[in-house]
Amino acid sequence: MNLSKSTIPWGALGPWIALAITCLFFTSQSSRFLSGENLSLVLQQVMVVGVIAIGQSLIILTAGIDLSCGMVMALGGVVMTKFAVDYGMNPYLAIVCGLLVTSCAGLLNGLLVTRVKLPPFIVTLGTLNIAFAITQIYSEAQTITNLPPAMTFLGNTFNIGSTEVSLGTVTMLVLYGLAWFVLRETAPGRHLYAVGNNPEAARLIGISVDKVLVVVYALAGLFYGIAALLSVARTGVGDPNAGTTENLDAITAVVLGGTSLFGGRGIILGSLVGAVIVGVFRNGLTLMGVASVYQTLITGVLVILAVAADQMSRKGAR
């Protein structure tokens, strides 16, 4: 049997195999891991990172990266909660304002990348710091409480067996379904992959590369805003310090899910599996009593291993 010609999609199965091994390991380490209460906690942790990872996936598929995703999410959460609580704005209108702010942040990233021709890494490193500073100044580094019920509605749960599933988790799954359909079945989705594969070739066949990039960055900002709403619904507060771990976790989820950091290759549903792997890792390590600083260290190692595997896979494909 010639393994090199096997039709088994090992690349697509990789994240699922990694998830299964991770779950088996933590099940062997803690009797609480597979309890309904703990699985409920994992699902709530995953929904925020999972939605950020959708936006991050779109950008990485174009061979870019967004380091500002977590801080933009925090800014959106503070804006929507402060507008509703401090200014008495209709909560639904306040949510729309928060989504507009995060979308504009994404649009700014896209314009700087396409019009000023700055590298995405540098642009989003700058907007990361800008978003963080604006969030701290605007909120006076204070958490916003006493939120109206409309802002925490997505935190409501229903039971599947002994596991509580939040409406936010359902929202995340619906968003993944929409993103999968657009990327797989529509012309804009194919254009995005073409830009990530070879922007010059995409330009020669008539694709407006700059337009695709600007739309992708703005859309990513919208997903960060939705993640902000889910974070607010989960915690019940507007937290100016949110998003500090979500930056790395979202990039880790995308890479572990099989999307190439070099662009043009990856399946959006892989990012969902990657987000679950990250959530399971953090939860399992917490159950084992591993300190958060070591969890961050292990997450960093996972990113390096996943990128190294991607690099070797690309060399093998040549």
* Every domain of the chain and the residues it spans: 38-308
169: left (phi over 0), alpha (psi -120 to 50) or beta: alpha
Report pLDDT digits (tens) over 127-147: 999 999 999 999 999 999 999
Beta bridge partners of 165: 158
Model confidence at 1, pLDDT cuts 50, 70, 90, reads very low
Q: Is the pLDDT of residue 177 over 70?
A: yes
d(CA 231, CA 225): 10
Asked whether the beta carbons of 268 and 113 are under 8 A apart, the reply is no
d(CA 318, CA 314): 7
Q: Is the pLDDT of residue 6 over 70?
A: no
Report pLDDT digits (tens) over 234-284: 999 999 999 888 888 898 899 888 888 888 888 899 999 999 998 998 899
Q: What is the CATH number of domain 38-308?
A: 1.10.3470
Sign of CA dihedral 94, 96, 99, 101: negative
Asked whether the beta carbons of 196 and 183 are under 8 A apart, the reply is no
pLDDT of residue 318: 57
Asked whether the beta carbons of 232 and 143 are under 8 A apart, the reply is no
- The answer, as to whether pTM is greater than 0.75, is yes
